[in-house]
Amino acid sequence: MVTVQWYPGHMEKARRDMADHLKAVDMIIELRDARIPMASRNPILDEMAAGKPRLIILSKTDLADPAATEKWTARLRGENRDCLALDLMNDKTCRSRIIASCRALTEAKRQRMIRRGIRPRPMRAMACGIPNCGKSTLINRIAGKNSARTADKPGVTRSLTWIKADPSLEILDTPGVLWPKFDDPKTGSLLAATGAVNEDILNLKDIAMDTIHTVRDLYPGVLEKEYQTDEAVRTDVMLEKIAETRHLLKEGNEPDTERAAIAFLHELRRGKLGRLTLEAADEEN
């Protein structure tokens, strides 16, 4: 669980680091969580990396609803922009698919260099995203066991280290860390529910209730089946039902809704409730 708390000072530093690194890269690899493709983005990237080709990777696709993921990838693709949905832990094709997509996104630039008589150099990419979205996992997957790293000192204040993904592509070995958005309570709950932010900073029961509401809205019947309740039960009563089905009782056999909230969120994160995507691709969000 991530414990970083974001204060204005952290955000300002992250923004400066990002701006600094952006100058050195030809394209961006933006990671988002496939379960929450909108809540796990940070719009600052649109401002900062405007014009740079972008590969959006929806990570943790093994935990997300495959049908929703298909809709999201289609929706997120566009001009100068590709989207891949990947299980970064297990998918053996991750590396080759990422490299192929980055090549395609930077091909125009490479061709421009050739036309101008410049010998094409490897294209350079930076991975970025909010905490816990899979940046380090991705970099490790690309780097492999004994990949070469190269240091680069083109007269800048600080040298950068690059991982040679293949002869045509290098990836910055330090990812760009973006802060999560806490612009509305729903986003906060989605981030906490998936483990992107520390749940301690929010009220656990509120997070669980928001999430129960979201899951019931998008996947009617799933929670009712898992926790053996009928469909008409209110969200707050649902927590009591979860406590009962999971035998989480306080003294006097009262349902312990606090522990039920924790149990529910853990079960959701582990995928025990199935592969669920908590934001619908066909909604305005």
Ligand X SMILES: Nc1nc2c(ncn2[C@@H]2O[C@H](COP(=O)(O)OP(=O)(O)O)[C@@H](O)[C@H]2O)c(=O)[nH]1
Minimum CB distance to ligand X smaller for 200 or for 236 = 200
Point out which span in 37-45, 126-134, 166-174, 251-259 binds ligand X (CB under 6 A).
126-134
Interaction partner, residue 278 (ligand X, Mg ion, none; CB < 5-8 Å by kind): none
Determine if 137 is a binding residue for ligand X (CB under 6 A): yes
Between 34 and 139, name the residue whose CB sits nearer to Mg ion: 139
Q: Which of 19, 67, 74, 89 binds ligand X (CB under 6 A)?
A: 89
Please, what is the minimum distance in Å from the beta carbon of residue 199 to ligand X?
A: 15
Rounded Cα distance, 114 and 112, in Å: 5
Residue 180 interacts, among Mg ion, ligand X, none and using kind-specific CB cut-offs from 5 to 8 Å, with: none
Q: Applying CB under 6 A, which of residues 53, 134, 176, 180 lies at the interface with ligand X?
A: 134
Q: For residue 162, what are the β-bridge partners?
A: 150, 172
| Interface of this chain with ligand X, residues 19 to 78, rule: CB under 6 A | 59-60, 62-63
Comparison of 38 and 197: residue with beta carbon closer to ligand X: 197
Q: Which string of DSSP letters, residue by residue, matches the chain?
A: -------HHHHHHHHHHHHHHHTT-SEEEEEEETTSTTTT--THHHHHTTTS-EEEEEE-TTTS-HHHHHHHHHHH-BTTEEEEE--TTT-TTHHHHHHHHHHHHHHHHHHHHHHTTPPPPPEEEEEEESTTSSHHHHHHHHHTTT--EEEE-SS-SS-EEEEEEETTEEEESSPEEPPPP-SSHHHHHHHHHTTSS-GGGS-HHHHHHHHHHHHHHHSTTHHHHHTT--TT--HHHHHHHHHHHTT-B-GGG-B-HHHHHHHHHHHHHHTTT-S--SS-TTS--
| Binding-residue pattern over the window 101 to 140 for Mg ion, x denoting contact by CB under 5 A | ----------------------------------xx----
CA distance 149 to 56: 24
Residue nearer to ligand X on the CB measure, 110 or 275: 275
Q: CB 243 → ligand X: shortest distance, Å?
A: 27
Quick check: 180 binds ligand X (CB under 6 A)? no
Q: With respect to ligand X, which residue has the nearer C-beta, 54 or 135?
A: 135
Region near ligand X per CB under 6 A, out of 5-13, 130-138, 213-221, 274-282: 130-138
Q: Which residues bind Mg ion (CB under 5 A)?
A: 135-136
Q: Which residues bind ligand X (CB under 6 A)?
A: 59-60, 62-63, 87-89, 129, 131-137
